[in-house]
Chain A
Amino acid sequence: MVVESQAQARTPVVTQRATAPDIEAEPIVQIRDLNVFYGTFHAVASVSFDVAANSITALIGPSGCGKSTVLRCINRMNDLVPSARVEGQILYHGVDVNGAKVDPVEVRRRIGMVFQKPNPFPKSIRDNILWGARINGFRGNADELVERSLRQAALWDEVKDKLNQSGLSLSGGQQQRLCIARTIAINPDVILMDEPASALDPISTLKIEDLMRELVRDYTIVIVTHNMQQAARVSDQTVFFSLNERRQGELVEASPTHQLFTNPREQRTEDYITGRFG
């Protein structure tokens, strides 16, 4: 499959509708020997792991260990950092997202992103949903798209009577769900979340987590989180990053979540999740 530069020339993607990830199936994202440089600084070293379709993968680790850098590589958001350079492969359905013929805009349509700080557009709730969809060639029923996206983001009942109000008038938790709805509206395959709940109160956080477990039936999710209990609660696979002796971010362990938090393979993982530092 080759991703063409025109938005309309899309190969239909068959997504699994399953409540539990099929670990025997071909992974939807495969990261192979990923190295990231910022200028001459070798920030991330030799990272390899797979992401199963319709699963939630959590990336955890101390600050500065490369979790968000790796996440941003998956949909080429690091292209926006002038000094950033990537080596290795990030395969999406077997195609390297950094391939010469690959359109990064199309990559980001299929692999959407939700950020730590909710960032709805300064537009109405309705236009927050429709704007991105129309840019990507949507010509269907706008009302239906708005309702479907907001329902999937568990926000419809709270905003259905005020769709013309500004997205900025919503609470923090609602804004974040609006951002998720906006991402869903352009029908991605994968949703990347960079600490999506760290700016939210505990109740909003749990609502986002419940939403993730609903969304994973239709999407694949990769989440960076500082909250280990959150990673333990929501994810199917957890990937632990840390810094090596050269201060480079590296992957220490990638394991099923139930195993990593009860009986991790690596001592460094054990030390981190039990809080033994120093």
Chain B
Amino acid sequence: MTREAYVHELHGLRDDIVAMSSMIDKALARSVEALRQQDLRLAEDIIRADQEINRVRWDIEERALLLIATQAPMARDLRLISAIIHIATELERMGDHAAGNAKIVIETGNEPLLKPLVDIPRMSDIARSMLSDSISAFINDDADAARAIVDRDDDVDALYNQIYRELLTFMMADPTTINRATHLLWAAHNFERIADRVTNICERVVFAATGQLDELAVSNY
């Protein structure tokens, strides 16, 4: 097969996206645990680990640009490299959201939780499942699978609205809860944004597979 070195590098970039998504999945799981347990040490570790996620993102982008400059990729290869650059950016921002939740733990960890966390872990579970499926669709170049994922974003949005109403009730009943409640709302918002970013990843998977660049399902919220 011709262009072996180029194809090897291209596949290497694709594999690095998969590895990066595993780092994000781990960060998301740990951030929920840190929130649930108010674990300050775990939160600090998540923030430190985010620096490595950032480094991986820049490395992927730099190598993708080098391929464009030196190998003149066309057609499917070009779309794949474009998708890789965008997906790496979305994953890095997800890492920032996980680190944001770790900072919330640090800022509020000295106060007891308003209530045991139930809906935020549910949001995290859905978002992580969406992320896993989107990366599978990416590996398999499967546009249909990618399109099917985005509807689940509505479930995450619904949970966020539920949390918002519940926390509003807390704040109205007792103003001393405002600090903790707003921080929890921000944590929920981080997971809502994470699910949105998975939708963006799905759009890039569809583009890489088909050449079509469309907004996928518009949220009902």
Contact with A along B72-109 (1 / 0, CB 8 A): 11111111000000000000000000000000000000
- State whether B75 touches A275 (Cβ < 8 A): no
CA distance A232 to B75 in the complex (A): 12
- State whether A264 touches B75 (Cβ < 8 A): yes
- State whether A261 touches B74 (Cβ < 8 A): yes
- State whether B79 touches A274 (Cβ < 8 A): no
Q: Is A165 in the interface zone, CB < 8 Å from B?
A: no
Interface positions, chain A 223-244, Cβ under 8 Å from B, are 228-229, 232
Number of B positions contacting A (CB below 8 A)? 15
**B2 to chain A: which residues have CB within 8 Å?**
275-278
- State whether B6 touches A261 (Cβ < 8 A): no
- State whether B1 touches A278 (Cβ < 8 A): yes
**B6 to chain A: which residues have CB within 8 Å?**
275
**B79 to chain A: which residues have CB within 8 Å?**
262-263
**What are the 8 tightest A-B residue pairs by CB atom distance, in nearest-first order?**
A263-B211, A273-B74, A275-B3, A277-B2, A278-B1, A270-B75, A261-B74, A274-B77
Known: A262-B211, A275-B6. Contact between A270 and B76, CB under 8 A?
Answer: yes
- State whether A229 touches B72 (Cβ < 8 A): yes
**A278 to chain B: which residues have CB within 8 Å?**
1-2
- State whether A228 touches B74 (Cβ < 8 A): yes
Which A residue's beta carbon lies closest to that of B82? A262
Known: A262-B78, A274-B3. 7 other contacts (CB 8 A): A261-B75, A264-B75, A270-B75, A274-B75, A276-B2, A276-B7, A277-B2
**B3 to chain A: which residues have CB within 8 Å?**
274-276
Which A residue's beta carbon lies closest to that of B207? A263
CA distance A269 to B75 in the complex (A): 9
**B210 to chain A: which residues have CB within 8 Å?**
263
Which B residue's beta carbon lies closest to that of A229? B72
Nearest CB in chain B: distance from A73 CB, A:
28
**B74 to chain A: which residues have CB within 8 Å?**
228, 232, 261-262, 273-274
Which A residue's beta carbon lies closest to that of B75? A270
CA distance A65 to B33 in the complex (A): 63
CA distance A228 to B75 in the complex (A): 12
Nearest CB in chain B: distance from A187 CB, A:
37
Interface centre among B2, B3, B6, B74, by most chain A C-beta atoms within 10 angstroms, is B74
A-B residue pairs in contact (CB < 8 Å), sample of 19: A228-B74, A232-B74, A261-B74, A261-B78, A262-B75, A262-B78, A262-B79, A263-B75, A263-B79, A269-B75, A273-B74, A273-B75, A274-B3, A274-B74, A274-B75, A274-B76, A275-B2, A276-B7, A277-B1
Nearest CB in chain A: distance from B178 CB, A:
52
Nearest CB in chain B: distance from A275 CB, A:
4
Contact with B along A248-266 (1 / 0, CB 8 A): 0000000000000111100
